Amino acid sequence: MTLAYTPTPNGASSKIAQVMERMGAAMRFAKDEEIFFQDDDAELIYLLQSGAARTTRLLADGRRQVGGFYYAGDLVGFETGEVHRFSAEALTDCTVLVLKRRALKEFAGDDELERAIWEATRAELERAQDHLLVLGRKTACERVASFLRGVAERAPAERHALPMGRQDMADYLGLTIETVSRMLTQLQSSAVVSFESARQFRITSPQALERLAA
Amino acid sequence: MTLAYTPTPNGASSKIAQVMERMGAAMRFAKDEEIFFQDDDAELIYLLQSGAARTTRLLADGRRQVGGFYYAGDLVGFETGEVHRFSAEALTDCTVLVLKRRALKEFAGDDELERAIWEATRAELERAQDHLLVLGRKTACERVASFLRGVAERAPAERHALPMGRQDMADYLGLTIETVSRMLTQLQSSAVVSFESARQFRITSPQALERLAA
DNA sequence: CGCTGGATTGAGTCCGGTCAAGCCTTGTGG
DNA sequence: CCACAAGGCTTGACCGGACTCAATCCAGCG
């Protein structure tokens, strides 16, 4: 049972997924449970099978930066050096395949696998670079619009669910929850998106959203 | 299995440097000249031999994000996919070794080279992730302090030169030139650093700088 | 039902941006 | 060697967008 292609940012190539499925151990994490910690030795790699997760980084005084959100099919924590630079936490209950890095390395001679690892690292780098532009040069409204567009891009559905709360969005976008909330209501009142509940929306005007995401 | 430590952010492992030196073509770029353009096909990889460069990304309305600064020994533009996601420009006159990606791929069977490429990509990712925290969660003063610390970390010298202008710093830090300038004078009047000219400084109080960089 | 925690809304503040002078360095030509 | 111009940097006054603090609101759930 190979995973189908996933359009998600860090979708595991089928090759990595194959190895994980053959050799990985299944684990479950409850909502808000830590999957791994910042500064821990990075001995394991994780493949999300269901649910969603976030990576976070803390400053000494408690300020938090969310590095990214991960969904079923995504690899988490593999693109690191000896030590994790982020923590990872379950956003919802989720099931994960876990494999020792060491085990993956045993396939090191396998060109296809090597390439898949590099490509996945590169994809993660592109995510980070896109994120840089958002944090460095976009306004609050543009950030929130970019975020919603990003969520929507993951799947061509009519309605989109937000597995994360406002605080997670805020820490991802470099804003406060209040500002995120205000921008969301503003986008709604200008008929760009429409929220059916706090965690579920549909896009009313894709062009307007695209334009605002800049 | 870990590569030797290189003090530069994206320092080419000796292995990649070896291949570049054997097979690369030497080129020169004048100050402010473009090395490659955003959205161009990424056919070539570049090894800076002397001088410094920046990578930049533009928004439609002209807002600019500087992705990073590169110095002698750094690889530029190799960690990309088919197309460059940033432009690269010479910060000063510089000399560069250029090699076709294709040529590097001919060594694809070479494990050491594969590993070096991955490590270099990973190093670039770590840079980007550190940068995310700065842009997402730090104040203007902390950003400037982080930046100066970063410059200083590259070499354990008494005095440090800044090859980039205020606008480049500002676009790197997600600030305006005025704010950068103000923070620099503020850091100077609180005796954290001391500028001998606009482009040259020394650190008066390393502890204070470290604390401010947060 | 009421409780609880997340989300929204409002009022006021402040950090960093904007606009506008001025200053200082560098380089060029007389 | 000096005068001047040009560009980069600094400084000041003011403004505004995002933050802070605080009060609701609301949905989910016991």
Per-residue pLDDT tens digits for A149-190: 999 999 999 999 999 999 999 999 999 999 999 999 999 999
Q: What percent of chain A has pLDDT over 70?
A: 93
pLDDT at A209 over 50: yes
Q: What value does the mean pLDDT take over residues A30-43?
A: 95
Is it the case that residue A124 has pLDDT exceeding 60?
Answer: yes
Position B108 pLDDT exceeds 70:
no
pLDDT of residue A118: 86
Whole-angstrom Cα distance, residue B15 to residue A209?
Answer: 46
Q: Which residue reads 């292995």 in tokens?
A: B15
Q: What percent of chain B has pLDDT over 90?
A: 78
pLDDT higher at A135 or B7:
A135
The number of residues making up chain A comes to 214
B96 phi and psi angles, rounded to 5 deg: -135, 140
CA angle A198, A203, A205 (to 5 degrees): 140
| Residue A212: predicted pLDDT | 97
Residue A60 has pLDDT above 50, yes or no: yes
Determine the pLDDT at residue A102: 87
A165 sits within 7 Å of strand C by its CB: yes
Where do the DSSP E strands lie in chain B?
25-29, 34-36, 44-50, 52-58, 64-71, 75-76, 87-90, 94-100, 159-161, 193-197, 200-203
State the pLDDT at residue B1.
38
- Reply yes or no on whether the pLDDT at A129 is more than 70: yes
Residues of B in contact with A137 (CB under 8 A): 59, 63-65, 171, 174
Contact A122 B81 (CB under 8 A): yes
At A106-115, the pLDDT tens digits run 876 677 888 8
Question: Over 80: is that where the pLDDT of B110 sits?
Answer: no
Could you give the CA distance from residue B34 to residue A157 in angstroms, rounded to a whole number? Answer: 41
The C-alpha of A82 sits at a distance from chain B's nearest C-alpha, in angstroms, of: 9
pLDDT of residue B109: 66
- How far CA B52 is from CA of A184, A214, B29, B40, B177, in Å, comes to 42, 30, 10, 21, 20
- Cα angle A129, B134, A180 (rounded to 5 degrees) comes to 80
In the sheet that B193-197 helps form, which strands lie side by side, from edge to edge? B159-161, B200-203, B193-197
Question: pLDDT tens digit string along B71-98?
Answer: 999 999 988 889 999 999 999 999 999 9
Query: Which of A197-211, B112-126, B186-200 bottoms out in mean pLDDT, i.e. has the lowest?
Result: B112-126
Please tell me the predicted confidence (pLDDT) of residue A12: 64
- Give the distance from residue A134's alpha carbon to the nearest chain B alpha carbon, in angstroms: 9
Mean pLDDT to the nearest integer, B149-154: 96
Q: Which residues does chain A have within 8 Å of residue B137's beta carbon, measured at their own beta carbons? A: 59, 63-65, 171, 174
Cross-chain Cβ contact A133/B65 below 8 Å: yes
Tens digit of each residue's pLDDT (9 = 90 or more) over B184-207: 999 999 999 999 999 999 999 999
| A30 CA → D30 C1’, Å | 21
CB B36, CB B45: distance < 8 Å? no
Q: Measuring CA to CA, which residue among A121, A22, A129 is closest to residue A75?
A: A121
B75 touches strand C (CB under 7 A): no
Is the pLDDT at A97 greater than 60, yes or no?
A: yes
